[in-house]
């Protein structure tokens, strides 16, 4: 990993894993520039400036758009050093360079951070085929999954398969706006079998206010990050119906149990301990109280399901994207295909409410009706 460089290391105390490869400096690109993408760039850019094993510059690919002022988003980011649309008021670091050209943004990078809404990863990967370094390492911060004809596919697996590179994941209780303001939080890096690579990602993301723990369970970590968005939608329905905290806690508990069962259904290797990391219970909690999925689901329930998620998302999130509604459709598809919907009443009900087949109030009666949860 890395590339030949003639620059001398000046800060050997901070070098970490790449220090073993004298003369190599890693180059990092961030693919995505929404609210979390911009925070990821900020975290990484802080470290590339301070670690001599990295080139200072961090390229951030921007899905180009024109702002109301007529200025291109990329130009505005590079002029102000802020993502004025998705993370206004937060300086990213002068070494973050926004680039609307995907090929150019990844050129030369040997560490690729994927952080776009999951519905766009298919097109992004397809256009990157043959364009990334063969020795590159990737990490996915994307909370979602792909469902293909052959079955469900994790985003990290999809990236690996499309681009022929290894892909780790970083998930956790990470509301972007809070980390942007440097409020303490934790995250989990999920890795497959190379601990050294995991340590490099930990080193690249860790800051005094962002604590990162590696866990050898890429599937468990990624599926936790993906499925908690479904639980957050259920929690939003409960809030929209003014059901109170006890009901919300019950929904969270049911949700966590279905998350674990779904993970193990797909991958028997998933570890129980993973659910106690930041990517597990902590992310469920933060998302069910402070996330966008919860917020829009609350509005959906308050409107009695009469306004669609698409409409509410566009109105309430100004370009930011929900992952939960798409994810629960994908989860439903997997369960339906395997004849297992009855064993996942919360997930099934969330989808049926989102798609208009059931009213939001169904969220609290499904368990009584189906009497499926043991005490
Ligand atoms: N925001 C958070 O607090 C947070 C925290 C942790 C993880 N995540 C995850 O990170 C991922 C990225 O979310 P985000 O919050 O950075 O994004 P966001 O929802 O804030 O912004 C949406 C992004 O999608 C881009 N976009 C719109 N149309 C596009 C297209 N056709 N092709 C490619 N990109 C397009 C926009 O330019 C923008 O960058 C998601 O999987 C999300 O679940 C988000
Ligand atoms: O705002 P949400 O609902 O997309 O959740 C954001 C993060 O995933 C919380 O960790």
What is the set of domains in the chain, with CATH numbers? 3-216 (3.40.50.720), 223-370 (1.10.1040.10)
What pLDDT was estimated at residue 366?
57
* 143 in a labelled binding site: yes
ipTM confidence: 0.99
* Active-site residue, selected from the candidate residues 25, 228, 248, 295: 228
Confidence check: pLDDT of 6 > 50: no
What pLDDT was estimated at residue 149?
66
Q: How far is the CA of 174 from the centre of ligand 2 (A)?
A: 7
Give yes or no for residue 325 CB within 6 A of ligand 2.
no
For the chain, helix, strand, coil in percent to 5 are: 50, 15, 30
Q: Measured between alpha carbons, how far is 206 from 286 in angstroms, rounded to an integer?
A: 20
pTM of the predicted model as reported, rounded to 2 decimal places: 0.93
Give yes or no for residue 207 CB within 6 A of ligand 1.
no
Confidence check: pLDDT of 234 > 90: yes
Residue 317 near residue 296, CB atoms below 8 Å: yes
* 26 in a labelled binding site: no
- pLDDT, tens digit, for every residue of 106-164? 999 999 999 999 999 999 999 999 999 999 999 999 999 987 767 789 999 999 999 99
Q: Which ligand 1 atom lies nearest to the CA of residue 39?
A: 16
What pLDDT was estimated at residue 39?
99
Q: How far is the CA of 234 from the centre of ligand 1 (A)?
A: 21
- pLDDT, tens digit, for every residue of 146-162? 877 677 899 999 999 99
Range from 69-78, 142-151, 191-200, 225-234 carrying the lowest mean pLDDT: 142-151
Q: Measured between alpha carbons, how far is 371 from 224 in angstroms, rounded to an integer?
A: 25
- Residue ID of nearest Cα to ligand 1 atom 32: 120
Structure tokens at 329: 């459709």
Residue 29 near residue 47, CB atoms below 8 Å: no
Active site residue 228: yes
What pLDDT was estimated at residue 328?
96
Report which of 287, 278, 312, 177 is spatially closest to residue 236, judged by C-alpha positions: 287
Q: Measured between alpha carbons, how far is 325 from 299 in angstroms, rounded to an integer?
A: 14
What pLDDT was estimated at residue 151?
76
What pLDDT was estimated at residue 373?
41
Q: Which ligand 1 atom lies nearest to the CA of residue 32?
A: 39
Q: How far is the CA of 286 from the centre of ligand 2 (A)?
A: 8
Angle, CA of 103, 223 and 220, to the nearest 5°: 110
């Amino acid at each position: 990993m890395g590339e030949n460089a003639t620059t001398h290391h000046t800060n050997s105390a901070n070098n970490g894993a790449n220090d073993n490869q004298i003369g190599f400096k890693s180059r990092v690109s961030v693919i995505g520039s929404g609210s979390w993408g911009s925070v990821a760039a900020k975290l990484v850019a802080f470290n590339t400036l301070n670690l001599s094993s990295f080139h200072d510059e961090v390229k951030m690919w921007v899905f180009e758009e024109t702002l109301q002022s007529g200025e291109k988003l990329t130009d505005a980011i590079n002029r102000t050093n802020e993502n004025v649309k998705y993370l206004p008021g937060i300086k990213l670091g002068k070494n973050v360079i926004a680039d609307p050209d995907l090929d150019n943004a990844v050129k030369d990078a040997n560490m690729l951070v994927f952080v776009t809404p999951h519905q766009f990863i298919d097109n992004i990967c397809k256009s990157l085929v043959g364009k990334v370094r063969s020795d590159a390492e990737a990490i996915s911060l994307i909370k979602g999954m792909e469902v293909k004809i052959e079955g469900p596919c994790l985003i990290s697996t999809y990236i690996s398969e499309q681009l022929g590179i290894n892909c780790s994941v970083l998930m956790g209780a990470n509301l972007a706006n809070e980390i942007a303001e440097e409020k303490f939080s934790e995250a989990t890096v999920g890795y497959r079998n190379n601990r050294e690579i995991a340590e490099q990602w930990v080193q690249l993301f860790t800051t005094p206010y962002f604590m990162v723990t590696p866990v050898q369970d890429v599937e468990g970590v990624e599926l936790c990050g993906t499925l908690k968005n479904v639980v957050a939608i259920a929690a939003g329905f409960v809030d929209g119906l003014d059901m109170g905290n006890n009901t919300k806690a019950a929904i969270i508990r049911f949700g966590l149990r279905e998350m674990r069962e779904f993970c193990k259904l797909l991958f028997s290797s998933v570890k129980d301990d993973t659910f106690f990391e930041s990517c597990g219970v902590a992310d469920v909690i933060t998302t069910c109280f402070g996330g966008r999925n919860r917020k829009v689901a609350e509005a959906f329930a308050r409107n009695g399901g009469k306004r669609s998620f698409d409409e509410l998302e566009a109105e309430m999130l100004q370009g930011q994207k929900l992952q939960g509604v798409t994810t629960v459709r994908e989860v439903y598809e997997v369960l339906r295909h395997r004849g297992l919907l009855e064993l996942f009443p919360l997930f099934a009900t969330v989808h049926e409410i989102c798609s208009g087949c059931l009213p939001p109030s169904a969220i609290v009666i499904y368990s009584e009706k189906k009497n499926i949860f043991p005490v």
